[in-house]
Structure 1
């Protein structure tokens, strides 16, 4: 389920939003201030609903920070319906601007559309994406929902191989030919099984959730954007 950060200082509206989002299949996180909101940024947030007028700061500044430092999309929710405010919000990185009052079904539709657009984006920096996992090839770093994932060198090389051939079945033999450990030793078949298991534990969610790394029986493995 997509995790939605709701930054709204009106407790009644925040509660209503969170209940409605939960009923729509989202996992909401309520923050009544920017200080509370910052505590949730390492929770794998998929989208932020952000009020502009908050008790401990300016929502515009927080929006700019999210835009510059994370990949979390932002929808501004505000009573400020002036064209200048809307232009300012969109120019500093907001993905959408919704004025209060609003219809919940319309907001949810815009949220789902934004999440689809974000997941369909293709980066120009050489990064590789699969589901909510990203490899930044320039820095050799791995992220899951914008949170760093610590991998061993062999785990990283295996994930890189999978993502470079996303949606393609890679045989165990092909993997074993390409994958060597850091000391130049050949990775054997049993080690590969263990390596795949460890990698799954780090980049996939709960075992009952959709899978990113699929076993193709009798052949090998393939990475997909999630299979139910």
Structure 2
């Protein structure tokens, strides 16, 4: 069940939307006054907020700003105010969508599901990223483990960054040479790539002799695992 908070002082519209969305497993709790909605947000968990702009006691843009500042919840503005400035301001404040009245309830249902799909995927990506021990910052040319900077030579950085980008896949020695500005095939002949791999393991592995992250796949190349 998708749970939605709606701030709408037009009772007929609120009832219409509530009944329509119910058939799509969307439960709407409407608040005629913004202060009641803000109080409820402090106590209850909602998946999304539908917000009118013309409200008693508090302008919808001020409500939008407060919700964005305090809560991690997507917002759809549902308003009859046609001034482009209101739309731009709402989106700049952090609203996810702006639906001008009047509109077909079917459009609202589609937008709700589209926003929640993107929002939930983003949250999953963030959670997954937080789980990772190693992170690559391409702009800074830095690699960290558990937030700690790993001191690498230029060649070590090139090799490890490539393996991180291809995490979970086997990267052949030829691919490493082809994607490196510092290494050439003389390294392959001299065995220096193996030396670089060993130096990286010394810096990132708990036990370099039994690596769990930078693995050698015999006859193929290397694989990086978090």
Normalising by the residue count of structure 2, what TM-score does the alignment of the two structures yield?
Answer: 0.54
Report what 1:103 is aligned to: 104
Q: CA deviation at 1:125?
A: 11
Report what 1:80 is aligned to: 81
Report what 2:31 is aligned to: 31
8 Å CA contact 1:6–1:18 kept in 2: the answer is no
Asked if residue 112 in structure 1 is aligned to residue 88 in structure 2, the reply is no
Q: CA deviation at 1:112?
A: 0.3
Report what 1:52 is aligned to: 53
Task: Return the alpha-carbon distance in structure 1 between the equivalents of residues 4 and 14 of structure 2.
Answer: 12
Task: Return the alpha-carbon distance in structure 1 between the equivalents of residues 93 and 82 of structure 2.
Answer: 17
2:119 aligned counterpart, secondary structure: helix
2:44 aligned counterpart, secondary structure: coil
Task: Return the alpha-carbon distance in structure 1 between the equivalents of residues 58 and 2 of structure 2.
Answer: 26
Task: Return the alpha-carbon distance in structure 1 between the equivalents of residues 44 and 127 of structure 2.
Answer: 26
Task: Return the alpha-carbon distance in structure 1 between the equivalents of residues 19 and 27 of structure 2.
Answer: 10
Task: Return the alpha-carbon distance in structure 2 between the equivalents of residues 127 and 44 of structure 1.
Answer: 23
Greater percentage in helix: 2
Greater percentage in strand: 1
Q: CA deviation at 1:40?
A: 2.0
Q: CA deviation at 1:20?
A: 1.2
Q: CA deviation at 1:52?
A: 0.3
2:102 aligned counterpart, secondary structure: coil
Which stretches in structure 2 are left out of the alignment for 5+ residues?
Answer: 132-145, 148-226
Task: Return the alpha-carbon distance in structure 1 between the equivalents of residues 63 and 129 of structure 2.
Answer: 28
1:119–1:98 CA distance, 2 compared to 1 (3 A): same
Q: CA deviation at 1:127?
A: 4.8
CA RMSD of aligned residues (A): 2.2
Q: CA deviation at 1:104?
A: 0.8
Asked if residue 123 in structure 1 is aligned to residue 132 in structure 2, the reply is no
Q: CA deviation at 1:124?
A: 8.7
Q: Between Structure 1 and Structure 2, whose CA radius of gyration is higher?
A: 2
Kindly provide the CA deviation profile for residues 107-150 of structure 1, in whole angstroms up to 9, marking residues without a partner as x: 1101100000100113399656xxxxxxxx99xxxxxxxxxxxx
8 Å CA contact 1:4–1:28 kept in 2: the answer is yes
Which stretches in structure 1 are left out of the alignment for 5+ residues?
Answer: 129-136, 139-228
1:35–1:20 CA distance, 2 compared to 1 (3 A): same
What stretches of structure 1 move > 4 A for 4+ residues in a row?
A: 124-128
Q: CA deviation at 1:65?
A: 1.2
1:8–1:68 CA distance, 2 compared to 1 (3 A): same
